Structure 1
Amino acid sequence: MSTTAWRFRGTEGADDAVLRLKQLAGKDLIDVRDVAVIRWPHYAAAPQVQEHVTDEGSKASSLAKKFSKAGIEGSMIDSVKGDMTPGNSALVLLSTDAEIDTIAKAFEGHAMELMRSDLSVKQEDLLRTAFGNPPGPEGPAAG
């Protein structure tokens, strides 16, 4: 299992990504275990977190936590919140069995940036390359 956090332009970008991930999961291209969406509307004083966004994620997360304490860690969500800016959104994804190239094609043309992950540096670089983000701290959705 891996946890990745993605930043999107606009407060609805992460919501669009959730819908796209549900479609990909329906085609068995990714196994979505849990999802959290973080939005920071311009009018809000701080980012707003919505955990366990998918019905499947909520059920799986509840069961998994009982048996193996698997799920998105609060520290990951807190770190992503700390990197947010007003007017953006982020998606924190716990997944397995991802068909990276196919998923990257499904998100082609969507401005998104890999913010954080529990992957190795080499794996992060491969993921950034697949999604069209240059390796390093600055991607197309930064700022």
Structure 2
Amino acid sequence: MATLTAWKFDSADGARNASATLRDLQSQGLIQVHDAAVVSWEEGKKKPRTAQLHDLAGAGALGGMFWGMLFGLIFFIPLLGAAMGAAVGALSGSLTDVGIDDGFIRRVREEVTPGTSALFLLSSDAVQDRVKEAFTGQRMELLHTNLDGDQEARLREVFEDSQA
């Protein structure tokens, strides 16, 4: 089962740096990345830059349209014109089924601000202790996961020590 997580970094390039770590972990078989995207918001800019990480996307990739619509909902970034309004409404309703609801959108909108970045990751089969080790020293905070409460608590516990 794949897990969708959203991680916040306290610098505009933190998520991009983390993607390099993920690339290395995936090449070692320590995590399976199905899809990933980053949001980088430089100080002084009016809106963030977003990008799907095509080089990490696997067979289960969600696709650029998913990420574009999700980031459009969160950051009010214009997507593909007014004709997409109905599709965005339908998508936002279906996202609730996987834990992407108004609370998630509001939290990401409040937390990802100028000078920060975020990594959105669809992954599975992580060797958590090795993944944790690889991220040691990277200052990040888990904003969202679609894991159940016990699984999320374990994930937070695993990564708390990596902040040192």
User: TM-score, structure 1 length as denominator?
Assistant: 0.77
Cα–Cα, structure 1 residues 26 and 58, in superposed 2: closer, same or farther, change >3 Å?
A: closer
> Tell me, what secondary structure is at the counterpart of 2:113?
coil
Q: Which residue of 2 aligns with 1:39?
A: 40
Cα–Cα, structure 1 residues 130 and 72, in superposed 2: closer, same or farther, change >3 Å?
A: farther
Higher Cα radius of gyration: 2
Q: In structure 2, what is the Cα distance between the partners aligned to 1:73 and 1:93?
A: 14
Q: Which residue of 1 aligns with 2:134?
A: 106
Q: Deviations over 1:1-22 (max 9, x none)?
A: 0000101111111011000001
Q: In structure 2, what is the Cα distance between the partners aligned to 1:40 and 1:58?
A: 26
* Structural RMSD (CA): 2.5
After TM superposition, the structure 1 = structure 2 runs for residues 1-143 of structure 1, keeping only pairs within 5 Å, are: 1-51=2-52, 53-57=53-57, 61=61, 74-75=69-70, 78=74, 79=105, 80-132=108-160
Q: In structure 1, what is the Cα distance between the partners aligned to 2:110 and 2:69?
A: 12
User: TM-score, structure 2 length as denominator?
Assistant: 0.68
What is the letter of the counterpart of residue 57 of structure 1? Answer: A
Q: Tell which deviates more after alignment, 14-23 or 39-48.
A: 39-48
- Do the aligned residues in 1 keep the contact of 2:8 with 2:111 (CA within 8 Å)? no
Cα–Cα, structure 1 residues 73 and 116, in superposed 2: closer, same or farther, change >3 Å?
A: farther
Q: Which residue of 1 aligns with 2:79?
A: none
Q: Which residue of 1 aligns with 2:94?
A: none
Choose between structure 1 and 2 for higher RCO, CA contacts under 8 A separated by at least 6 residues: 2
- Do the aligned residues in 2 keep the contact of 1:9 with 1:111 (CA within 8 Å)? yes
Q: Structure 1 residue 56: deviation in Å?
A: 4.2
Q: In structure 1, what is the Cα distance between the partners aligned to 2:56 and 2:51?
A: 15
Q: Unpaired runs of 5+ in structure 2?
A: 75-104
> Tell me, what secondary structure is at the counterpart of 1:37?
strand
Q: Deviations over 1:85-143 (max 9, x none)?
A: 1100000000011111110011111111001111112111111110116xxxxxx7xxx
